[in-house]
């Protein structure tokens, strides 16, 4: 509920954390989920940290009523915080959809939404299957693989195709290689530190992570810029891909998007559209092979399908859907989502001032015993037995900023899983409990899930 500025504001705050923000940030870098769990145990499902030189005052909460209050509030109650989103800005750029507010945000979402939903989305079904089959064809029986490398390769190719309408050629290869190397710069907590601490952002040459980060980013921008110019100057190169959509778009004053705006949006789609899907897919392979019962039920359902190109049927397979949902519940790739207050706001009976950041925790909400009994157990059946509200289950966030690509991600993951597992049998080499570890601003299974190819059906 939003209060008007004239409402009397009671100085009433939830439990206040005692640990200095610098220490909290370092702890969050190395053990985000453990930290959240410890704080929730100590302070409850809403706790507050006062303003510091590093961050504005912030609240972390994991209560469905609170989440509902945020998702259903007037979007103008919130804005993007410059301080808390600094790492996202470094990666994606100032004009990223994830960093826009108000009318600009609404307009860009409307423009970018169609390719990721409905029939337009389903028209990528064959591309997703073709790309996946190409990847399988590289494997040999007996080979040990890190499955995340391959799910990343698939999701990167798919998003490049959606964005540029192409998935091969020298320009594609160059961009693909640069992106993979760039993302590898922060493939661990240590290497991600510079994203979160500005004083580590010193360009001391190519051998420092920050130096590497800047140089690679510049190269990626150069390729994107040349592709944007090509489309702007040659209308016959325009197709139905996202880049063409953005190049053709005009605002109310008939002005086109600037090159920087288009470039940051391309970076957003490239990043948000493949890292997250790649890590979730890796977790899905892990759970299916770590729990033989789950794999058996999954295969029984898969074997009952005659036509794997019948995408409508695949999208509706109950057990497949439940495996995907349970993975996103137990292993969310985004830990916390923030909304920064533009005006006083009442949340769960507490009143927070403008300038406070509200962070709802996807992880802690998905770990609530009262909603998910035995929350640490992987149990797809929970999703067959009951429906969860959007405030209890929120792997894609919610409200007016809900993930733009959620339907596309679900579609892609279901097609990749069914295509690979209808042909390939694996043995899980990482047959042990796996931790979720930081990869820049998202989370991924530790080591990327090592598997051995046991059999490939023709
Ligand atoms: C398993 C895969 C994915 C997960 C778990 C995921 C998760 C998320 C989450 C949690 C958010 C923040 C939502 C909020 O603030 O309430 C988000 C935003 C976003 N995601 Fe995804 N995402 C996935 C795949 C994708 C894909 C395939 C795309 C393709 C375009 C995409 C594009 C975006 C964009 C553009 C935003 C910013 C939306 C906005 O601020 O309006 N994501 N995603």
Residues with CB under 6 Å of ligand 1 are 97-98, 109, 116, 268-269, 272-273, 276-277, 280, 333-334, 337, 395-398, 401-405, 408-409
Q: Which residues contact residue 454 at a Cβ distance below 8 angstroms, ignoring those fewer than 6 apart?
A: 141, 425, 426, 427
Q: Shortest CA distance to 444 belongs to which of 36, 149, 3, 176?
A: 149
Q: What confidence score (pLDDT) does residue 167 get?
A: 63
What is the DSSP code string of 296-321? HHHHHHHHT-S-TT-HHHHHH-HHHH
In a domain, 3, yes or no: no
In a domain, 52, yes or no: yes
In a domain, 9, yes or no: no
Residue 220: exposed, middle, or buried by beta-carbon count in 10 A (0-12, 13-18, 19+)? buried
Q: What confidence score (pLDDT) does residue 449 get?
A: 98
Best probe residue, ligand 1, of 32, 148, 272 (max atoms within 8 Å of C-beta): 272
Q: What angle is formed at CA 316 by the lines to CA 312 and CA 321, rounded to 5 degrees?
A: 135
In a domain, 79, yes or no: yes
In a domain, 408, yes or no: yes
In a domain, 2, yes or no: no
> pLDDT per residue over 212-223, tens digit each?
888 889 999 999
Report how many domains make up the chain: 1
In a domain, 370, yes or no: yes
Q: What confidence score (pLDDT) does residue 236 get?
A: 86
CATH of the domain at 290: 1.10.630.10
Q: What confidence score (pLDDT) does residue 83 get?
A: 78
Instruction: Give mean pLDDT in consecutive 10-residue pieces for the chain, a chain of 458 residues.
Output: 41 83 86 93 94 90 97 94 82 92 90 87 91 95 97 93 78 86 75 74 78 89 92 86 88 87 92 92 98 98 94 96 98 94 94 95 97 98 97 97 95 97 97 92 94 94
Give the span between the Cα atoms of 418 and 411, in whole angstroms.
11
Q: What angle is formed at CA 35 by the lines to CA 341 and CA 20, rounded to 5 degrees?
A: 65
Q: Which two tokens stand for residue 368?
A: 């609530």
pTM of the model: 0.92
Rg (CA), the chain: 22
Write out the residue range of the structural domain in which residue 174 sits: 15-435+446-456
Best probe residue, ligand 1, of 405, 440, 443 (max atoms within 8 Å of C-beta): 405
In a domain, 320, yes or no: yes
């Amino acid at each position: 509920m939003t209060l008007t500025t004239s409402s009397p504001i009671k100085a009433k705050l939830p439990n206040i954390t005692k640990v200095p923000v610098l220490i909290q940030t370092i702890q969050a870098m190395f053990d985000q989920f453990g930290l959240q769990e410890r704080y929730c145990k100590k302070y409850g499902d809403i706790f507050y940290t006062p303003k510091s030189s590093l961050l504005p005052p912030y609240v972390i909460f994991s209560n469905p009523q609170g989440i509902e209050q945020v998702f259903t509030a007037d979007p103008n109650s919130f804005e993007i915080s410059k301080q808390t989103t600094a790492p996202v800005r470094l990666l994606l750029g100032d004009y990223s959809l994830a960093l826009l507010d108000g009318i600009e945000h609404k307009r860009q979402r409307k423009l970018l939404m169609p390719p990721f939903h409905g029939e337009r989305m389903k028209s990528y079904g064959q591309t997703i299957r073709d790309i996946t089959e190409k990847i399988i064809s590289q494997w040999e029986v007996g080979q040990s693989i890190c499955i995340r490398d391959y799910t990343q390769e698939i999701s990167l190719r798919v998003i490049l195709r959606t964005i540029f309408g192409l998935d091969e050629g020298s320009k594609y290869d160059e961009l693909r290689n640069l992106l993979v190397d760039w993302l590898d710069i922060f493939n661990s907590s240590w290497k991600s530190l510079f994203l979160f601490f500005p004083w580590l952002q010193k360009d001391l040459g190519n051998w420092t992570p920050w130096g590497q980060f800047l140089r690679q980013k510049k190269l990626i921008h150069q390729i994107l810029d040349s592709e944007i110019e090509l489309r702007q100057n040659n209308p016959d190169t325009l197709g139905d891909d996202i880049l063409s959509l953005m190049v053709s778009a005009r605002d109310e004053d008939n002005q086109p998007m600037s090159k920087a705006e288009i470039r940051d949006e391309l970076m957003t789609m490239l990043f948000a559209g493949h890292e997250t899907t790649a890590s979730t897919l890796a977790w899905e392979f892990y759970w299916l092979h770590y729990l033989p019962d789950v794999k058996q039920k999954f295969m029984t359902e898969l074997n009952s399908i005659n036509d794997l190109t019948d995408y409508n049927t695949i999208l509706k397979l109950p057990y497949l859907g439940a495996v995907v949902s349970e993975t996103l519940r137990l292993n969310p790739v985004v830990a916390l989502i923030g909304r920064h207050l533009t005006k006083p706001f009442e949340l769960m009976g507490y009143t927070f001032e403008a300038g406070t950041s509200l962070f709802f925790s996807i992880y802690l909400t998905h770990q609530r015993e009262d909603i998910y009994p035995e929350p640490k157990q992987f149990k797809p059946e929970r999703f067959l037995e009951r429906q969860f509200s959007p405030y209890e289950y929120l792997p894609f966030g919610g409200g007016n900023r809900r993930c733009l690509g959620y339907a596309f991600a679900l579609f892609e993951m279901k097609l990749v899983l069914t295509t690979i597992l209808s042909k390939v049998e694996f043995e899980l080499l990482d047959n042990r409990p796996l931790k979720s570890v930081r990869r820049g601003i998202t989370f991924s299974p530790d080591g990327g899930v090592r598997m051995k190819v046991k059999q490939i059906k023709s």
